[in-house]
């Protein structure tokens, strides 16, 4: 069953740029970027249970770092993307260490405040980020190859997304993943079992920020401009809802949520006057009737139908 | 900067800060009330505040309802709406999944729905106000200049805090609310109707926010985005200690004054980031805030 | 049916063949012998809907009028409208959809300056003409490109400069207090103001505030402490009303001038500031040819009522910036007409660069040039005391020049 799903996904991914316009490929690029963001959030909230609301800040750090590296210093884009990921994860590690003592709601609020403060920095540090004028991002370059259109960037965006997905699965199956989940269930029990709780939490933050930074790097592959308005709490909430709607705690849920919500978002753009109400209503209805996420909900239905 | 100017700035900054801080205090009280009894930070508090303001606007300006009728009507609508949301939506969410994340997201959903509804009415486009409930004649406090409305806002915040304090400390309902906050299972065993208490708390929280809206809307002018002021309220609640009602009030004043002093002595650009810096500092240095009890460690 | 490798390959080939079909058009996209497709985008939802919703409606109604009169060289205008939600990401998505999916001939959109700048590279690279709606969009107009035209409302550089010009020349101010926003808009109008301040030998005291500000005590106190001869407010409507209120509360009696960025709804403004007492020494800047509702531009409002009777009946409609859609649409129509019966994008762009006409709606003419892409740089000032509006003589502009 899973094999078929992967085959279908592969077919769609390969066929997409051949049968559709650059606009659809742009949407796909955006969706893949958000998928990586969701995977990052899955690691810190879904696996480790740490309620971090600073995701958009790390995404922004990744975009600016990768963008500046490529535009001002002319680094080839695999290096730029990596710089984005590392810059974000460095800050992520620091935040993780500072946040060690905090729990649940306090952690959520502190990371929320950090995210907003970071957006203010993006908006006011004119020398580096261009401030309210935004930052121009030059087309990504790899030796001779230049990525100018969405279709040019697409294969590399897909490759990066797949790499991050593989990384997520590796981490989940490794001992680190088990440590994450142990900390989520019960810190005291985990400690008793010999899990280095403090270090695990810091690592979770760092890795999650790395993912967000890589997503930022992906963004620079197909975008020419970034403005701090897109890097605030709204974006973090968007990613959070994708993960929750898809299903917290499962990799498939994170990926599925990104796709489902990305499509819903684009559809809602066609109904401007009801957008906000529809968005809010979707959140409420999901929380009321499909709390484990869309895919768990559907899976339950199918399982029920088959057994009936 | 010469000494006279500094003195003037300090006086005005503190006095104006106390006034705007009173509003932060009222909203912070609303947030803390709900958090104390259900451990849910209500991300829709700002929109409840905003919706109550627009309800009052609709009644006072568009229906020409007299003040003595419009005010209680607004409070009733706020109470009913919030209690209904708690009863219909949040109860179901709790039942479906105990995770606090889900409850928070449901409140987030409410905030979008309320904003969207207000925008649909078409009133949200241009900044609006209704006639202030108290006169806006000037009053001098030392060298600082404020209005009678400002004084009323300040006194109301204190009155509401006093009322809530009495409610929680001396009445049966208040004690039941505290019990539900400390240990819901034990409270239920003692015969407390959890549903009813939760609805009451949400309703009361909305009423306090509505009072804030009635007072402050003419002062800050109404748009569909005015719920953004809730960030300051969250900062106030954190500074005061997220589980302490008097803390919320003190926190409100602290944030209000800090906002003004930062604007006066550092930079106007820094005003908007000041509450976030305050939140981070407090949570790093002293997470329980000024008045909160020791941060509870859940025993698992 | 099992999905074999060969099936996938065959499907891929078929798809590739389909994909390389007529989309690779040799002729101009969006043009048929009987129609011209114009891709419009504006904020149709969300917090900033008021900046563009009715502006787009105004442009559409003008296109309808042209269609009723027979179209342009026998072609009717067909409009595709997208919601850009006033933010960079959605605007870029809307533009890409219009260009690649809907294959429009020309783009007519953009009410939000910071967002529209995001589309600059894409539009230039794909050689698509972009004529903004009412956005100032200075970031995409300087340095000039071959493809982007805008500032039909007014260039922000002109806003700042004109405000200083008026305060210095007409009110004789030597020290001016200037409050703007900490966004892109604010940076542009401040730069324009500084250029004029230097030329007029005027001192500026500047405070930049966030548009979400609730308590303006701090910035106002600081400005008052600078002892200015006039207070210039270059913010959006709500913070502007807060400043005017605060000034009245503190007994400030020097002239207060409000820029066009904050004027929106005047009667509401008076209510918001607590009554006519706050407006004893108050002027506002406008870019329209007449007082709002005056005889010169009444035809625009009449046309709106005719075209959108349901909207006109709702409160707050037409929205304040509605008339700004007219000069934008007029420019496109004129350029299309000048490009002749066999238009190409290049011909239309060349025609745009030579436009110089009075739209009858704005205070100044729409003037483009070989390196000028900002349409309007002229403003007027009106004294307002709560009931009466008195037009001040003169048309004010800015001495700011782009240093390439």
Work out how many CB contacts closer than 8 A connect B with C. 102
Cβ atoms of C177 and C250 within 8 Å: the answer is: no
- Across the interface, of A15, A132, A270, the residue whose CB is closest to C183 is A132
Which of A123-137, C10-24, C233-247 bottoms out in mean pLDDT, i.e. has the lowest?
C10-24
What 8-state DSSP symbol labels residue B295? P
Contact A103 B297 (CB under 8 A): yes
Distance (Å) from the alpha carbon of C267 to chain A's nearest alpha carbon: 26
Contact B99 A248 (CB under 8 A): yes
| CATH fold of C31-154+296-367 | Rossmann fold (3.40.50)
Residues of chain C numbered 8-67 and touching chain B (CB < 8 Å)? 46-47, 49-50
Confidence of residue A197 (pLDDT cuts 50, 70, 90): confident
Proportion of chain B above pLDDT 90, given as a percent: 33
Residue A18: list chain C partners with CB under 8 A: 12, 15-16, 19
Is residue B100 assigned to a domain? Answer: yes
Cβ atoms of C242 and B220 within 8 Å: the answer is: yes
CATH number of C156-286+380-391: 3.40.50.2300
Q: Where along chain C do the CATH 3.40.50.2300 domains lie?
A: 31-154+296-367, 156-286+380-391
Instruction: Dig out the tokens for C322 from the structure.
Output: 């509605």
Q: B235: buried, middle or exposed (CB in 10 Å: 19+, 13-18, 0-12)?
A: buried
Per-residue pLDDT tens over the stretch B134-182: 777 888 888 888 888 889 889 988 898 899 889 888 888 888 888 888 8
Interface test with B, best of C55, C217, C267 (most B CBs within 10 A): C217
Query: In whole angstroms, what is the distance from residue B34 CA to residue A49 CA?
Result: 23
Residue C3: list chain A partners with CB under 8 A: 4, 7-8, 11
Confidence of residue A306 (pLDDT cuts 50, 70, 90): low
Contact B260 C213 (CB under 8 A): no
Whole-number pLDDT of residue B298: 47
Work out how many CB contacts closer than 8 A connect A with C. 105
Between C271 and C2, whose confidence is greater? Answer: C271
Confidence of residue B45 (pLDDT cuts 50, 70, 90): very high
Distance (Å) from the alpha carbon of C23 to chain B's nearest alpha carbon: 39
Whole-number pLDDT of residue C17: 40
Distance (Å) from the alpha carbon of A272 to chain C's nearest alpha carbon: 5
Q: What is the CA radius of gyration of chain C?
A: 23
- Across the interface, of A26, A133, A272, the residue whose CB is closest to C139 is A133
Measured over all CA atoms, what is the biggest interatomic distance in chain B, rounded to whole angstroms? Answer: 65
Angstrom CA distances, B132 to B147, B152, C241, stand at 11, 11, 15
Instruction: Dig out the tokens for B240 from the structure.
Output: 């005061």
Per-residue pLDDT tens over the stretch A169-186: 999 888 888 888 888 888
- Residue C331 pLDDT > 70: yes
Contact A117 B276 (CB under 8 A): yes
What's the whole-number mean pLDDT along residues B271-283?
A: 88
Neighbours of chain C (3+ CB pairs under 8 A): A, B
Q: HEC profile for chain C?
A: CCCCHHHHHHHHHHHHHHHCCCCCCCCCCCEECCEEEEEEEECCCCCCHHHCHHHHHHHHHHHHHHHHCCCECCEEEEEEEEECCCCHHHHHHHHHHHHHHCCCCEEEECCCHHHHHCCHHHHHHCCCCEECCCCCCHHHHCCCCCCEEECCCCCHHHHHHHHHHHHHHCCCCCEEEEEEECCHHHHHHHHHHHHHHHHHCCEEEEEEECCCCCCCHHHHHHHHHCCCCEEEEECCHHHHHHHHHHHHHCCCCCCEEECHHHCCCHHHHHHHCCCHHHHCCEEEEECECCCCCCHHHHHHHHHHHHHCHHHHHCCCCCCCCHHHHHHHHHHHHHHHHHCCCCCCHHHHHHHHHCCEECCCCECCCEECECCECECCCCEEEEEECCCCEEECCCCECCCCCCCC
Whole-number pLDDT of residue A163: 95
Query: In whole angstroms, what is the distance from residue C392 CA to residue C383 CA?
Result: 7
Distance (Å) from the alpha carbon of C217 to chain A's nearest alpha carbon: 21
Residue C210: list chain B partners with CB under 8 A: 269, 271-272
Q: B265: buried, middle or exposed (CB in 10 Å: 19+, 13-18, 0-12)?
A: middle
Residue A223: list chain C partners with CB under 8 A: 92
Q: Does C97 touch chain A (CB under 8 A)?
A: yes
Cβ atoms of C132 and C116 within 8 Å: the answer is: yes
Residue of B nearest to A242 (CA): B105
Query: In whole angstroms, what is the distance from residue B104 CA to residue A107 CA?
Result: 14
Is residue B3 assigned to a domain? Answer: no
- Residue B63 pLDDT > 60: yes
Contact C209 B268 (CB under 8 A): yes
Q: Does C121 touch chain A (CB under 8 A)?
A: yes
Total Cβ atoms within 10 A of residue C59: 30
Confidence of residue C63 (pLDDT cuts 50, 70, 90): very high
Per-residue pLDDT tens over the stretch B220-263: 888 888 888 988 899 999 888 888 888 889 999 999 999 999 99
Residues of chain C numbered 48-77 and touching chain A (CB < 8 Å)? 49
Residue C242: list chain B partners with CB under 8 A: 220-221
Contact C16 A20 (CB under 8 A): no
Prediction ipTM score = 0.86
Residue of A nearest to B274 (CA): A117
Whole-number pLDDT of residue C328: 96
Is residue B217 assigned to a domain? Answer: yes
Is residue B162 assigned to a domain? Answer: yes
- Residue C22 pLDDT > 70: no
Contact A280 B119 (CB under 8 A): no
Per-residue pLDDT tens over the stretch A238-288: 898 888 888 877 888 888 888 888 888 777 777 767 778 888 898 899 888
Contact B128 C271 (CB under 8 A): yes
Whole-number pLDDT of residue B103: 86
Is residue A191 assigned to a domain? Answer: yes
Cβ atoms of A291 and B124 within 8 Å: the answer is: no
Is residue B236 assigned to a domain? Answer: no
Residue of B nearest to C238 (CA): B127
Contact C96 A22 (CB under 8 A): yes
Q: How many domains does chain A contain in total?
A: 1
Distance (Å) from the alpha carbon of C222 to chain B's nearest alpha carbon: 7
Is residue A283 assigned to a domain? Answer: no
Q: How many domains does chain B contain in total?
A: 1
**Domain span including residue A189:** 25-231
What's the whole-number mean pLDDT along residues C221-235?
A: 94
**Domain span including residue B29:** 24-225
- Across the interface, of B109, B114, B300, the residue whose CB is closest to A186 is B300
Q: What is the mean pLDDT of chain B?
A: 87
Cβ atoms of C250 and B150 within 8 Å: the answer is: no
What's the whole-number mean pLDDT along residues B211-215?
A: 90
Neighbours of chain A (3+ CB pairs under 8 A): B, C
Contact A103 B295 (CB under 8 A): yes
Is residue B56 assigned to a domain? Answer: yes
Per-residue pLDDT tens over the stretch C72-99: 999 999 999 999 988 888 899 999 999 9
- Residue C13 pLDDT > 60: no
- Residue A134 pLDDT > 70: yes
What's the whole-number mean pLDDT along residues A214-220?
A: 95
C150 - beta bridge partners? Answer: C374
Distance (Å) from the alpha carbon of B113 to chain A's nearest alpha carbon: 4
Residue of B nearest to A275 (CA): B116
- Residue B296 pLDDT > 60: no
Contact A237 B116 (CB under 8 A): no
- Residue C8 pLDDT > 50: no
Is residue A212 assigned to a domain? Answer: yes
Confidence of residue C1 (pLDDT cuts 50, 70, 90): very low
Residue B148: list chain C partners with CB under 8 A: none
Whole-number pLDDT of residue A305: 64
Residue C15: list chain A partners with CB under 8 A: 15, 18-19
Is residue A275 assigned to a domain? Answer: no
| Distance, first Cα to last Cα, chain C | 64
Whole-number pLDDT of residue A304: 67
Per-residue pLDDT tens over the stretch C276-327: 888 999 999 999 888 777 888 999 999 999 999 998 888 778 888 899 999 9
Total Cβ atoms within 10 A of residue A87: 23
Contact A110 B100 (CB under 8 A): no
Q: What is the mean pLDDT of chain C?
A: 88
């Amino acid at each position: 069953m899973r094999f078929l799903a992967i085959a279908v996904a592969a077919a769609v991914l390969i066929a997409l740029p051949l049968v559709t316009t650059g606009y659809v490929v742009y949407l796909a690029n955006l969706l893949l970027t958000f998928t990586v963001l969701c995977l990052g959030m899955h690691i810190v909230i879904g696996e480790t249970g740490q309620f971090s609301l600073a995701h958009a800040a790390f995404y922004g750090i990744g975009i600016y770092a990768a963008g500046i590296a490529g535009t001002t210093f002319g680094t080839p884009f695999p290096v730029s993307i990596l710089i984005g990921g590392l810059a974000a994860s460095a800050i992520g590690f620091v935040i993780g260490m500072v946040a060690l003592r905090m729990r649940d709601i306090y952690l959520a609020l502190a990371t929320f405040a950090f995210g907003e403060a970071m957006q203010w920095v993006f908006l006011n540090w004119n020398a580096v980020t261009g401030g309210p004028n935004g930052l121009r991002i030059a087309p990504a370059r790899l030796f001779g190859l230049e990525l100018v259109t969405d279709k040019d960037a697409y294969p590399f965006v897909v490759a990066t997304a797949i790499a991050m997905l593989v990384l997520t699965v590796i981490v989940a199956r490794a001992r680190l993943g088990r440590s994450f989940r142990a900390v989520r269930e019960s810190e005291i029990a985990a400690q008793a079992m010999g899990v280095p709780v403090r270090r695990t939490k810091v690592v979770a933050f760092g890795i999650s920020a790395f993912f967000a930074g890589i997503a930022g790097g992906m963004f620079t592959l197909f975008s020419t401009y970034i403005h701090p308005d897109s890097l605030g709490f709204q974006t973090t909430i968007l990613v959070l809802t994708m993960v929750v709607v898809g299903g917290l705690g499962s990799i498939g849920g994170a990926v599925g949520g990104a796709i489902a919500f990305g499509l819903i978002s684009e559809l809602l753009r066609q109904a401007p006057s009801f957008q906000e109400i529809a968005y809010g209503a979707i959140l409420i209805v999901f929380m009321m009737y499909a709390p484990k996420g869309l895919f768990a909900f559907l899976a339950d239905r199918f399982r029920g139908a088959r057994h009936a | 900067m010469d000494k006279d100017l500094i003195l003037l700035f300090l006086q005005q900054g503190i006095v104006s800060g106390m006034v705007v801080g009173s509003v932060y205090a009222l909203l912070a009280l609303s947030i803390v009330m709900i958090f104390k009894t259900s451990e849910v930070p209500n991300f829709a508090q700002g929109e409840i505040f905003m919706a109550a303001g627009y309800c009052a606007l609709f009644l006072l300006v568009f229906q020409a309802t007299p003040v003595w009728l419009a005010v209680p009507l607004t409070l009733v609508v706020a109470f009913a709406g919030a209690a209904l949301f708690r009863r219909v939506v949040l109860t179901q969410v709790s039942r479906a999944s105990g995770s606090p994340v889900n409850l928070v997201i449901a409140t987030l959903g409410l905030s979008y729905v309320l904003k969207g509804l207000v925008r649909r009415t078409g009133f949200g486009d241009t900044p609006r106000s209704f006639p202030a409930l108290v006169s806006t004649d000037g009053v001098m406090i030392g060298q600082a200049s404020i209005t009678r409305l400002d004084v009323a806002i300040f006194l109301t915040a204190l009155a509401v805090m006093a009322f809530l304090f009495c409610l929680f400390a001396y009445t049966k309902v208040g004690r039941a609310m505290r019990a539900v906050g400390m240990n819901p299972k034990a409270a239920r065993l003692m015969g407390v109707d959890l549903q009813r208490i939760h609805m009451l708390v949400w309703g009361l929280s909305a009423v306090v926010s509505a009072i804030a809206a009635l007072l402050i809307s003419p002062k800050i002018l109404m748009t569909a985005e005015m719920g953004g002021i809730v960030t300051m309220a969250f900062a106030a609640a954190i500074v005061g200690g997220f589980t302490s009602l008097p803390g919320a009030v003190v926190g409100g004043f602290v944030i209000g004054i800090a906002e003004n002093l930062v604007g006066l002595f550092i930079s106007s650009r820094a005003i908007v980031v000041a509450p976030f810096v305050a939140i981070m500092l407090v949570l790093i240095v002293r997470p329980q805030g000024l008045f909160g009890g020791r941060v509870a460690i859940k025993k698992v | 049916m099992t999905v074999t490798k060969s099936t996938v390959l065959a499907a891929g080939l078929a798809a590739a063949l389909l994909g390389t079909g007529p989309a690779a058009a040799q002729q101009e996209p969006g043009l048929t012998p009987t129609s011209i497709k114009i891709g419009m985008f504006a904020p149709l939802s969300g917090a900033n809907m008021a900046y563009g919703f009715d502006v787009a409606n105004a442009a559409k109604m003008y296109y309808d009028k042209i269609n009723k009169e027979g179209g342009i060289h026998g072609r009717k205008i067909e409009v595709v409208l997208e919601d850009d939600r006033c933010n960079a990401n959605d605007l870029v998505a809307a533009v890409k959809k219009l260009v690649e999916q809907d294959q429009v001939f020309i783009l007519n959109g953009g009410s939000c300056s910071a967002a529209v700048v995001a589309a600059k590279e894409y539009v230039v690279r794909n050689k698509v003409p972009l004529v903004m709606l009412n956005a100032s969009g200075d970031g995409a107009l300087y340095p000039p490109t071959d493809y982007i035209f805008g500032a039909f409302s007014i260039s922000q550089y002109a806003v700042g400069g004109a405000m200083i010009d008026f305060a210095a020349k007409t009110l004789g101010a030597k020290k001016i207090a200037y409050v703007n926003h900490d966004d892109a808009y604010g940076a542009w109008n401040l730069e324009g103001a500084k250029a004029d301040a230097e030329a007029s030998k005027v001192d500026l005291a500047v405070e930049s505030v966030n548009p979400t500000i609730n308590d303006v005590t701090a910035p106002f106190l600081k400005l008052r402490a600078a002892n200015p001869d006039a207070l210039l407010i270059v913010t959006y409507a709500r913070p502007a009303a807060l400043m005017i209120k605060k000034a009245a509360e503190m007994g400030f009696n020097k002239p207060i001038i409000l820029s066009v960025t904050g004027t929106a709804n005047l009667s509401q403004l008076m209510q918001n500031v607590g009554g006519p007492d706050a407006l004893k020494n108050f002027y506002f800047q406008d870019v329209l040819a007449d007082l709002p509702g005056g005889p010169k531009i009444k035809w625009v409002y009449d046309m709106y009522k005719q075209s959108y009777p349901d909207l006109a009946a709702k409160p707050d409609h037409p929205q304040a910036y509605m008339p700004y859609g007219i000069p934008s649409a007029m420019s496109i129509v004129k350029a299309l007409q000048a490009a002749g019966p066999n238009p190409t994008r290049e011909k239309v762009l060349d025609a745009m660069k030579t436009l110089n006409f009075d739209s009858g709606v704005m205070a100044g003419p729409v003037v483009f040039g070989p390196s000028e892409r900002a349409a309007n740089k002229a403003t007027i000032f009106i004294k307002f005391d709560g009931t009466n509006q008195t037009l001040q003589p003169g048309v004010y502009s800015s001495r700011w020049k782009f240093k390439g």
